[in-house]
Amino acid sequence: MTVGSRASFGRLGAQRRAQRRSSMWLDAFRRLRKNKLALAATGLTLGLVLVAVLAPIIAPYPYDQPHFGSSWVFPFRDSRFILGTDSLGRDMLSRLMYGGQVSLLVGVGAELISLVVGVPLGALAGLRGGTTDYVICRLIDIFSALPYIVVVILMLALLGPGLGNIFIAIGLAAWVGPCRLIRGQVLSVKETPYVRAAISMGASQRQLILRHLIPNSISPVIVAAALGIPTKIFAEAGLSFLGLGVRPPTPSWGLMLGESFQFARGYYYMVLFPAVLVALTMLGFTLMGDGLRDSLDPRMED
């Protein structure tokens, strides 16, 4: 009897797995699919993003259109204004939708800014080492010595009000996070045996960056970005709440909260809806980021 006559049991797992072509992304995707919570969160987040993006199309009214006869309408009373109206008779639903636009714009945009600034600086510091690294590290120290919100407010005071400036302030103030992350990644990747081998075989710096650095550093950056967005959304909402952020009539959930806070006793819905939306959006991004992080982290599950 030859060995191969009945080559395997139902699952000769070790052999099979070795042959199955899998990439890091495929594995991550598979793991993500199993994580129900993360999936729900991703769905929620995408839903919110969709509504925000499509606001100009699907919102029943423009956000600044007042209806003088119908102010202070409670939700579910008037079929024209499903979620009620505010003090000027502006439709809550529309304002909430457009507010989502602002929040997401700032959240994602500011995150991108922090990446655009932080990542190259961090990579530079890690790759060059020496004085460059020293200088950048001192800068990191200085910025880290102050709480994030403090830095944002200082920058805002510097730049003045306006949507664009808020963007920049919130984004720029957070450059330290991605910078540190990338720098750490670069430093550790530099020490790995395969990079050392590549260097000794004469790989150019560009090859190193493209072939080794980027693939290894991408996943932590993506996770950090997803998890960083809620902080930015929080910053924008908070600042607008205090009146330091977006200017009326541009709707922002934080601004809506700030304006209606004084009427909370009588018109709770004006406070409740934006508050819940902010919380939900942050929840969605956070859980999605958590799910991404768990799925990209090679575990010994199988």
Partner 1 sequence: MVGVLLAISVLTFLIMHSIPGGPFDPLKMPVSATTQKNLDAKYGFDRPLYEQYVRYMWAAVRGDLGVPFQSPGETVVGLLGRTWKVSAIIGGISLLIAYSVGMFLGFVSAVRQNTWVDHVATSFAVLGVVTPSFVVALLLILVLSLGLQLVPTGGWGDSWQQAIMPVLAFSFGLIAIVARFTRSSVIEVLRSDFVRAARAKGLSQRAVLRRHVLRNALTPVVTIAGPMFAGVITGSFFIESIFRIPGIGQYFTTSAFQRDYPMIMALTLLYAALITVVYFITDLVYAWIDPRVRVGASGTARSQ
Partner 2 sequence: MAHALRDRRGPPLLDLIDLKTYFFTRDGVVRAVDGVSFQMHHGETLGIVGESGSGKTMTALSIMRLVPAPPGRIVGGRIMFQGNDLLQLREAQMCHVRGRDIALVFQDPMTAFDPLYRIGEQIEEAIEWHLRLDRKARRARCIAALERVGIPAAPERARAYPHEFSGGMIQRAMIAMALACEPKLLIADEPTTALDVTMEAQIVDLLRDLQRDTGMGLIYVTHNMGVVARIAHRVAVMYAGTLVETAPTKTLFGTPKHPYTLGLMRSVPRVDGDLSERLQAIEGLPPDLIDMPDACPFAPRCPFVMARCWDERPQLRMVGEDHHIACFADV
Q: Where are the alpha helices (DSSP H) in 160-203?
A: 163-172, 176-191, 193-200
Got the DSSP string for 48-67? HHHHHHTHHHH-SS-TT---
Q: How far apart are the first and last CA of the chain?
A: 33
Q: Smallest distance from the beta carbon of 39 to partner 2, in angstroms?
A: 16
**Binding of partner 2 by 3 (CB under 8 A):** yes
As given in the structure block, the two tokens for residue 211 are: 């072939």
Q: Which partner in partner 1, partner 2, none is near 10 (CB below 5 to 8 A by kind)? A: partner 2
Considering beta carbons, is residue 195 or 239 the nearer one to partner 1? Answer: 239
Minimum Å gap between C-beta 126 and partner 2 is: 28
Residues 6-35 binding partner 2 (CB under 8 A) are 6-16
* Per-residue three-class SS string for 78-124: ECCECCCECCCCCEHHHHHHHHHHHHHHHHHHHHHHHHHHHHHHHHH
Q: Using CB distances below 5 to 8 A depending on partner kind, what does residue 244 bind out of partner 1, partner 2, none? A: partner 1
Query: Which stretches of the chain bind partner 1, using CB under 8 A?
Result: 138, 141-142, 144-147, 149-150, 153-154, 156-158, 230, 234, 237-238, 241-242, 244, 257, 261, 264-265, 268, 271-272, 275, 278-279, 282-283, 286-287
Nearer to partner 2, 27 or 133 (CB): 27
Q: CB of residue 219 vs partner 2: minimum separation in angstroms?
A: 24
Binds 201, which of partner 1, partner 2, none (CB < 5 to 8 A, cut-off by type)?
none
Binding at 153: pick from partner 1, partner 2, none (beta carbon under 5-8 Å per type): partner 1
- What is the 8-class DSSP label of residue 175? T
**In sequence order, what are the beta bridge partners of 91?**
85
Interaction of residue 36 with partner 2, rule CB under 8 A: no
Compute the residue count for the chain. Answer: 302
Beta bridge partners of 78: 81
CB of 291 to partner 2, least distance (A): 17
Residue type, 183: R
The one of partner 1, partner 2, none whose footprint includes residue 3, by CB under 5 to 8 A per kind, is partner 2
Residue 29 corresponds to which tokens in the numbers above? 């995707």
Residue among 244, 254, 228, 262 at smallest CA distance from 96:
254
Does the protein bind partner 2 through residue 206 (CB under 8 A)?
no
Among partner 1, partner 2, none, the one that 242 touches (CB under a kind-dependent 5 to 8 A) is partner 1
Question: What is the rounded CA–CA span in Å between residue 129 and residue 133?
Answer: 5
Residues that bind partner 2 (CB under 8 A): 1, 3, 6-16, 302
